[in-house]
Amino acid sequence: MLDDEAVVWVKTPSGEALRLVDEYRPYIFAEPRSAEALRELVQLLEQSPFVRGVKVVEGLVGLRNTTRKRLVRIESFGARSIGRVSTLVRRSGLAAEIYGEELPHVQRYLFNRLQIEPSSRAAFNVVGNRIVSAERLEDLDEIRPPPFSLLKIQPQYSGPRLAGLVVRFSGRSQWVEGSGDRVLEGLLELVSSLDPDLIYIPGLQWGRGAPLNEWLERPAVRRAFGRCPDVWRLSQGSAAGRVFLGDIFYGFEPDEYGLAGLVERARFSFTTLGLATRWTSNRCIDSRNLYELARMNIRAPRLEYMEEVRCLVELLERDRGGVTFTPRPGLHENVAVLDFDSQYPSIILKHGISYENPSGGGRLIPSILQPWLERRLRLKRLRKTLRPNSSEELYCTERIEALKLILCTQYGISGCCWNRFGNTLAFEEINRVSREAMLTSKRVAEERGFEIVYGDVDSLFVRREGASRRDYEELAERISAATGLPMSLDRHFKFIAFPRLRTDPDTPALKRYFGLTYDGLVEARGIELRRSDTPAIVREFQERLIRTIMSFDSIGEVMSCSVEEGVKLLAEYERLVDSGLGFEELEIRKVLGRNPEEYSRGLAQSSAAAQLQALGIRLEKGREVRFVYTSQSHPNPLLRVRATQLFSGRYDKEYYRAYLRRAAETVFGAIGVSINHVVKNARLERWL
Q: What is the pLDDT of residue 315?
A: 74
Cα separation, 529 vs 540, in Å, equals 8
- Of the candidates 478, 445, 482, 481, the residue with the CA atom closest to the CA atom of residue 464: 445
pLDDT band at residue 681 using 50, 70 and 90 as cut-offs: very low
pLDDT band for position 676 (50/70/90)?
low
Query: 555-576: per-residue pLDDT in tens?
Result: 988 888 888 889 999 999 999 9
DSSP state of 456: E
The pLDDT-based confidence of 687 (bands split at 50, 70, 90) is very low
Q: What is the C-alpha radius of gyration for the chain, rounded to an integer number of angstroms?
A: 29
Taking CA atoms, 280 is separated from 105, 249, 350, 423, in Å, by: 19, 9, 27, 19
Domains 5-136 and 583-650 share a fold: no
Instruction: Look at residue 1 and tell me whether its pLDDT is greater than 70.
Output: no
- Tens-digit pLDDT profile for residues 383-392: 989 998 899 9
Give the H/E segment covering residue 55.
Answer: strand 51-61
> How far from 600 is each of 596, 607, 610, CA to CA, in Å?
9, 10, 12
145 within 8 A of 254, measured Cβ to Cβ = no
What integer is the mean pLDDT of 285-314? 86
**How large is the average pLDDT for residues 664-674?**
88
Q: What is the pLDDT of residues 93-108, one digit of tens each?
A: 999 999 999 899 999 9
Ranges 162-166, 343-347, 459-463: which has the least confidence: 162-166
Q: pLDDT band at 674, cuts 50/70/90? A: confident
Strand order in the sheet with 624-629: 588-591, 624-629, 641-643
Question: Do the beta carbons of residue 337 and residue 489 sit within 8 Å?
Answer: yes
Tens digit of pLDDT for each residue in 13-56? Answer: 888 999 999 999 999 999 999 999 999 999 999 999 999 999 99
Give the Cα separation of 542 and 338 in Å (integer): 26
Q: How far apart are CA 541 and CA 482, in angstroms?
A: 43
pLDDT digits (tens, 9 = 90+) for 77-93: 999 999 999 999 999 99
Section 151-159 average pLDDT: 79
pLDDT tens digit string along 521-531? 999 999 999 99
Angle at 137 between CA 133 and CA 143, to 5 degrees: 145
pLDDT at residue 160 above 90?
A: no
At residue 162, φ and ψ (nearest 5 deg) are: -70, 120
Per cent of the chain over pLDDT 70 is 96
Residues in Cβ contact with 243 at an 8 Å cutoff, skipping those fewer than 6 apart: 197, 198, 199, 237, 272, 273, 274
Average pLDDT over residues 315-322: 77
Per-residue model confidence (pLDDT) at position 50? 95
List the alpha helices (DSSP H) in 319-356.
Answer: 343-351
What percentage of the chain reaches a pLDDT higher than 90?
A: 61
pLDDT band at 682 (very low <50, low <70, confident <90, very high): very low
Q: Is 307 left (phi over 0), alpha (psi -120 to 50) or beta?
A: beta
Per-domain residue ranges of the chain: 5-136, 583-650
The b/e string for 485-495 (b: 16+ C-beta within 10 A; e otherwise) is bbbbbbbbbbb
Q: What is the pLDDT of residue 256?
A: 79
List pLDDT tens digits, range 493-544.
999 999 988 777 778 888 999 999 999 999 999 999 999 899 999 999 999 9
Is 90 exceeded by the pLDDT of residue 547?
yes
In this model, does residue 159 exceed pLDDT 70? no
The answer to whether the beta carbons of residues 559 and 687 sit under 8 Å apart is: no
Q: What is d(CA 122, CA 387) in angstroms, rounded to the nearest whole number?
A: 30
Q: Which of the given ranges, 135-149, 225-239, 250-264, has the highest pLDDT on average?
A: 135-149
Q: What is the C-alpha to C-alpha distance for residues 564 and 276, in angstroms, rounded to an integer? A: 50
Q: What is the mean pLDDT of residues 245-259?
A: 81
Residues 604, 590 contacting (CB under 8 angstroms): yes
Position 415 pLDDT exceeds 50: yes
| pLDDT band for position 295 (cuts 50, 70, 90) | very high
Per-chain mean pLDDT for the chain = 89
The Cα 75–Cα 55 span in angstroms is: 9
Give the domain 5-136 fold.
DNA Polymerase; Chain A, domain 1 (3.30.342)
Residue-level pLDDT at 318 = 75
Given a cut of 50, whether residue 683 has pLDDT beyond it is: no
What per-residue confidence (pLDDT) applies to 206? 62
Superfamily of domain 583-650: B family DNA polymerase, thumb domain, alpha/beta motif (3.40.1820.20)
Confidence (pTM): 0.83
For 70-88, give one letter per residue: b (16+ CB within 10 A) or e. ebbbbbbbbbebbeebbeb
| The pLDDT of residue 641 | 94
Q: State the pLDDT at residue 207.
A: 60
CA distance 357 to 365: 10
Whether 250 shows a pLDDT value over 90: the answer reads no
Q: Are strands 624-629 and 588-591 parallel, antiparallel or unpaired?
A: antiparallel
What pLDDT shows up at residue 234? 77
Out of 30-39, 102-111, 160-169, 285-294, pick the least confident.
Answer: 160-169
